Amino acid sequence: MLDRIDNVWLQSFFSVYEKHSFAKASEHLAIPSSNVSRHIQQLESILGEKLFYRTTRKVTPTLMGERLFQEIREPLYNLNQSLQRLSEAPTSLKGSIRLSSPDIPIIGEVLADFLTTYTDIKLYCEHSTAIENAILNDPDIIISFERGALDDRDWVSKPLCQWETAILASKECINRYGLPENLTELESMPCISSYKSFGGTPWIFTMPESNEFKTLSPKSRIKVDGGFTAKAFAQRGLGFVALPTSFCSDEIAQGELQQVSVDYDLSPLTIFIHYRAINFHSHLSKLLVNFITTKMSYSS
């Protein structure tokens, strides 16, 4: 039966049992509450019995839930302690990590620092700008660009840093197509969009009155996932583009690109790091996650 049960389901079960709450378990595990609920449902389906009673005030274990906790608590604790001791031994600093990340200088520099510090660790890094594609390759860690709300996934997702973004266009583009003043006008103009990043919809705006997000679907003859390639296209007057202003500071200062203001602000571009529940993961992955998060502090 063990081969039919995912360890992450057991972790969700333990958290709900100890916190007496799906919401508090979700907060403790740093995953969406819908994922916690799904893990419990999957575990109940395998065991064939209900594990918790839910009321508006409290979550309490059923007889089966209580028995499950008492039966596996000590074996799992001992197993986790044994794995922890083995992973923290000096020999554990030899091994390999599989990472998926966008190809940008700031991440390359952090990874170079890591490999300089830990000289016996092998890193296999593939470059992807779409988290859906990255997950298919089953990496240990994923770094991705996100704008707007995250979709629910069985991964812990933490923000690393954030960049303010703006609508940018060349003078040639503005002279040819005009200067949009609102989202409706922008939607009718040629824009450079993403191919797979952000689900193909990088034009996500924050609505200040509700803190909700509005997605725009402008005319997009050109779709590209590379920010620097998109910038080059915009410089040639091929359309409006949504990019971090820090990526284009020289071009803005030299007048090659101009910031365009409409009635809503673009949502910031956030770099996230995603990883499986760390208690059931390798020590090397935890080491790299901690190294990256320490190097790249999050600023709002």
- The pLDDT assigned to 300 comes to 41
- Supply the DSSP symbol for 150: P
Percent of the chain with pLDDT over 90: 50
Length of the chain: 300
How far apart are the C-alpha atoms of 188 and 172, rounded to whole Å? 17
Confidence of residue 259 (pLDDT cuts 50, 70, 90): very high
Give the highest mean pLDDT range of 169-178, 196-205, 222-231. 169-178
Q: How far is CA 14 from its chain centroid? A: 25
Question: By the 8 A CB rule, do 283 and 140 touch?
Answer: no
> Could you read off the pLDDT of 60-84 as tens digits, one per residue?
999 999 999 999 888 888 877 776 6
Domain 91-160+270-295 CATH assignment equals 3.40.190.10: yes
Residues 6+ apart with CB under 8 A from 141: 97, 98, 99, 100, 273, 274, 275, 285, 288, 289
Residues 167-188, mean pLDDT to the nearest whole number: 95
Query: Does position 249 have pLDDT exceeding 70, yes or no?
Result: yes
Expressed in angstroms, the distance from the first to the final Cα of the chain is: 45
Average pLDDT of the chain is 87
- Supply the DSSP symbol for 211: T
Four-way CATH pick for 165-267: 3.50.40.10, 3.40.50.720, 1.10.20.60, 3.40.190.10: 3.40.190.10
Assign 260 to helix, strand or coil: strand
Q: Same CATH topology for 91-160+270-295 and 165-267?
A: yes
Percent of the chain with pLDDT over 70: 92
Query: Does position 299 have pLDDT exceeding 50, yes or no?
Result: no
Fold for the domain defined by 2-87 = Arc Repressor Mutant, subunit A (1.10.10)
Question: By the 8 A CB rule, do 47 and 53 touch?
Answer: no
Confidence of residue 3 (pLDDT cuts 50, 70, 90): low
How far apart are the C-alpha atoms of 124 and 291, rounded to whole Å? 17
CA atoms within 13 A on the CB side of 190: 18
**Has this prediction a pTM greater than 0.75?**
no
Residues 107-113, mean pLDDT to the nearest whole number: 94
Confidence of residue 92 (pLDDT cuts 50, 70, 90): low
Residues 288-294, mean pLDDT to the nearest whole number: 91
Question: By the 8 A CB rule, do 44 and 51 touch?
Answer: yes
Phi/psi of residue 138, nearest 5 degrees: 55, 55
CA distances from residue 210 to 184, 202, 205, 233 in whole angstroms, order as listed: 19, 20, 12, 34
Query: Does position 298 have pLDDT exceeding 50, yes or no?
Result: no
> Could you read off the pLDDT of 116-130 as tens digits, one per residue?
998 989 999 999 878
Confidence of residue 277 (pLDDT cuts 50, 70, 90): low
Helix (H) or strand (E) holding 77: helix 63-87
Enumerate the domain spans of the chain.
Answer: 2-87, 91-160+270-295, 165-267
> Could you read off the pLDDT of 233-245 as tens digits, one per residue?
999 999 999 999 9
Residues 212-220, mean pLDDT to the nearest whole number: 87
Amino acid at position 12, single letter: S
